[in-house]
Chains A and B, each alone.
Chain A
């Protein structure tokens, strides 16, 4: 943890029609820190994550990563929407791991991992391949490079998805409930990979329901409810001595 801010979120608002999902979210994530976002379903956790890499457009507020505004350019006292091409380039700095993996089923594991480095970063194929094999080794799947995603278990698929996100060498890695679609006995292998990344100093924001994981790995635990951050702080503070009634109520249900 260097203490410099990697992700800065200010006054984030987002509505879907009548429903206001984010109602002014402020959040800062230090470089190298692991932030775990907890909260009941419908509290806006996933939307927040998707707003960070601009999969959702914002209604108000901003997200900046390593000092770069995401999705907009500031000029003359206004925010100008970036073109799709520019947003795509920005997303190569932001790794995203989905709840449902979203691996490309018609590509092999290796092709899944090399696709973005080759097409988005224009890396030579041999370089991308070598790097992908190293990453697959890191998530314990070096021997699965040539198989198709459907031939893997859910836990293995999610580990491939993590390797795929890492292949872009992102500044920050976002996890949207990475273990929620997994059988209970497969959760551990995915969390172990994420823990390894945490030890290696990767900046991460993890939306999850795994309280034990939050306690063990998080530098900061953020509790969201009703589209705002209710409470945040070190895990022992938020999890063991929550200040807010809503946090207490939530934790009493999940612990």
Chain B
């Protein structure tokens, strides 16, 4: 700084010389110190993970991939899949009822969302589980008239069915709002242009509005799917053999709580990671046309790097300088 003050006429030094001077980056000692402190804390934690016998890694290894655990992971995935598919299907219907021009349908959709967001999921689940107490038989027929087909409610709706129904109906209320938010975020000019072109109404929604709405639906939907995936552990109250219930059964028997919780944790983390990958590629697909040149995927970037390394290796022995 002081040198600048003494050699005040900068231009006198010659503009060419100034342009050629090397640039020294500013130093950030506090940034480095804070980083080092954080690394020490993380290292301590990792050291504890490895050395504290309480984690009991041998037990963890023994149970991580046993058949009971794998089967329970399967049940958790089933609950997530059915809950998501059914939840978003019902949610889409509710969203479009809410967006329809009929005040009756709008009100019904609003009440649905209001009701299912207001009742805690766990209360709903226990309620569905006890549905046969309220309705012993379930029939199809003329409203308020004779019944044509009828079933025992409990035959139709086992424990797993009740759980899926509860999760899906709960999910549908949130999905409806997410889908509605996506649809109203699409520029009104898009619908106007589609209407001016005479494109049929359903096609306007499916081909013009929804693909654009997906851009803002997907990040929220990703959140919902992941929270449903982990939230499915709540159905342990119905004694369904999903991951968390199964882990509890095992540690109830063996008393090894911590390693078995780690088994569940690792499965939840691994599968959530896979879901996040899926979300990334899905988002990328629906972003087409939104940027002039879409950025490369991590995979493409990795491939590009490999290609670059191969290229340099090929050209290096010939000694050719580019």
Chain A residues within CB distance 8 Å of chain B: 53, 55, 84-85, 88-92, 94, 96, 98, 100, 102-108, 115-116, 119-120, 148-151, 164-165, 168
Contact = CB atoms under 8 A, between A and B. Distances in A.
B199 A105 contact: no
Interface string B183-202: 00001011011111111110
Contacts, number: 78
A119 B290 contact: no
B289 A168 contact: no
Contacts of B190: 102, 104
Contact of A88 (B195, B288, B292): B195
A116 B64 CA distance: 55
A116 B189 contact: no
B207 interface: yes
Given A106-B211, A148-B288, A85 B196 contact: no
A100 B288 CA distance: 20
Contacts of B189: 98, 100, 102
Nearest to B294: A148
B198 A92 contact: yes
A91 B201 contact: no
B198 A84 contact: no
Given A98-B193, A104-B193, A115-B207, A85 B200 contact: yes
B212 interface: yes
16 contacts: A55-B192, A55-B196, A85-B201, A94-B196, A98-B189, A104-B193, A104-B194, A105-B212, A106-B286, A115-B197, A115-B208, A116-B198, A116-B199, A120-B198, A150-B290, A168-B197
Interface in B241-274: none
A107 B289 contact: yes
Given A55-B192, A106-B289, A119-B200, 9 more contacts: A89-B198, A91-B197, A92-B197, A92-B198, A98-B189, A106-B212, A108-B289, A115-B197, A120-B199
B137 interface: no
Contacts of B208: 104, 115
Nearest to B212: A106
Contacts of A53: 196
B291 interface: yes
